Amino acid sequence: MKERFFKWFYGESDPMEHILDCAEVPDESREEWKYEEHEIEREISRRVHTQSVIRAERRGFYAFYLIIAVISCLMLIGVLLFTVSQLPRYGVENPRAKEVIERYVEKGLEETGAVNIVSGMILDYRAFDTLGESHVLFTALLCVMILLRLDEKNKRTRYENYYTVLADPYYDISTDPIMRIAATITLPSIFLFGIYILLNGQISPGGGFSGGAVMGAALIIYAAAFGFTVTDRVFTYRMSRCITFLSLAFYSFAKGYVFFTGANGIPNGVPKGTPGAVLSGGLILPLDIAVGMVVACTMFGFYSLFRRGSIGGE
């Protein structure tokens, strides 16, 4: 027993080897991708050289930097704490900032048709703000794609290749039966919960961003538990592009139309519905769905790009 423990401790044998059906990375391919001896030596000498250059060049700068950094941190925190101590009491209404809130609370239900005043605010009064937010997410996805997507110019290094291509099957959690069974049980309810949050944005806490984030998380769990080959059949790059573009275009046109008619005093013909029902709040429900689609695509796109360098594996 003791002997087996020490063998396991020093990495000589794995007692779970016969139980877990994990494919070990074959030794010959591992050797192929290993750094050669002289490469390791060159790397170490380069590191040492860099460190010595840093020490020689920036010794005076470090002392100066430390003093300035400590002073600026302390001053920032001190000034901000002083400001906080001068603020109105926590938990007491501030009478000077009431005008906007009064308008939102007293006229919000009548003008937007949404029971949830925050939803009515962000998707009706301040809808262009939310449009900007969705575009921020979309732009971030584009930036990550520019930086991480693998193509002819941006290839994996040999080192990365060892870890992602050869060793990935060994570390991949999609070979894990516990993960698969847990995902099979929980995924339908997570998806359903995401759709519920998405559709109930106007009558309860929730809405496009939170619902979309839950659905994106469900997609990520799906890809992690069953591998990307399964999600690629449903969620391709083309489909992600179409969904994102259509959602953003629909949002822009619908809200532009409503703002245009509203500014010119023309009735826009969008039914408000009964307050408190799912079909209420005028355009809030479709806009919520559009935002949720963008968020779900973006979240899954981030995961997919960071994990394997492409959306939908084309």
Partner 1 sequence: MFENLWINGEEAVAIILFGIGFTMLLFQRNLLKKLIGMNIMDTGVFLFLASMGYIEGRKAPIVTNGVLDTAAYINPVPAGLVLTGIVVSVSVTAVMLSLVIRLYKRYHTLDLDEIYVLSKHQMEDR
In 3D, which of 142, 119, 172, 165 has the Cα closest to residue 281? 119
Torsion 216-234-189-131 (CA) sign: positive
214 binds partner 1 per the rule CB under 8 A: no
Instruction: Between 105 and 239, name the residue whose CB sits nearer to partner 1.
Output: 105
Among 169, 227, 275, 313, binds partner 1 (CB under 8 A): 275
181 binds partner 1 per the rule CB under 8 A: no
14 binds partner 1 per the rule CB under 8 A: no
Give residue 238's identity as a one-letter amino acid code: R
43 binds partner 1 per the rule CB under 8 A: yes
Under 8 Å CB-to-CB from 122, ≥6 apart: which residues?
A: 129, 130, 207
Instruction: Between 16 and 146, name the residue whose CB sits nearer to partner 1.
Output: 146
Q: Which range in 75-83, 163-171, 186-194, 262-270 contacts partner 1 by CB under 8 A?
A: 75-83
Residues in a beta bridge with 273: 280
- State the Cα angle at 273 between 269 and 275, rounded to 5°: 140
Distance between CA atoms of 52 and 47, rounded to whole angstroms?
A: 9
DSSP state of 209: H
Instruction: Between 32 and 93, name the residue whose CB sits nearer to partner 1.
Output: 93
Query: Do 278 and 195 touch, CB atoms closer than 8 A?
Result: no
How near is the Cβ of 174 to partner 1 at its closest, in Å? 22
How near is the Cβ of 104 to partner 1 at its closest, in Å? 6
CA dihedral 71, 74, 77, 79 (to 10 degrees): -70
How near is the Cβ of 81 to partner 1 at its closest, in Å? 6
Matching residue, tokens 């519905």: 273
Query: Do 158 and 33 touch, CB atoms closer than 8 A?
Result: yes
Structure tokens at 96: 């000077």
91 binds partner 1 per the rule CB under 8 A: yes
Instruction: Between 7 and 47, name the residue whose CB sits nearer to partner 1.
Output: 47
140 binds partner 1 per the rule CB under 8 A: yes
Distance between CA atoms of 33 and 156, rounded to whole angstroms?
A: 13
Specify burial of residue 57 (Cβ count, 10 A radius: 0-12, 13-18, 19+).
exposed
34 binds partner 1 per the rule CB under 8 A: no
Distance between CA atoms of 248 and 244, rounded to whole angstroms?
A: 6
Query: Do 180 and 226 touch, CB atoms closer than 8 A?
Result: yes
How near is the Cβ of 251 to partner 1 at its closest, in Å? 14
Among 127, 137, 258, 311, binds partner 1 (CB under 8 A): 137
20 binds partner 1 per the rule CB under 8 A: no
How near is the Cβ of 295 to partner 1 at its closest, in Å? 8
Interface pattern 97-136 for partner 1 (x via CB under 8 A): xx-xxx-xxx-xx-----xxxx--xx---x--x---x--x
161 binds partner 1 per the rule CB under 8 A: no
Sites of contact with partner 1 (CB under 8 A):
39, 42-43, 46-47, 50-51, 53-54, 57-58, 69, 72-73, 76-77, 80-82, 84-87, 89-93, 97-98, 100-102, 104-106, 108-109, 115-118, 121-122, 126, 129, 133, 136-137, 139-141, 143-144, 147-148, 157, 160, 203-205, 209, 275, 302, 305-306
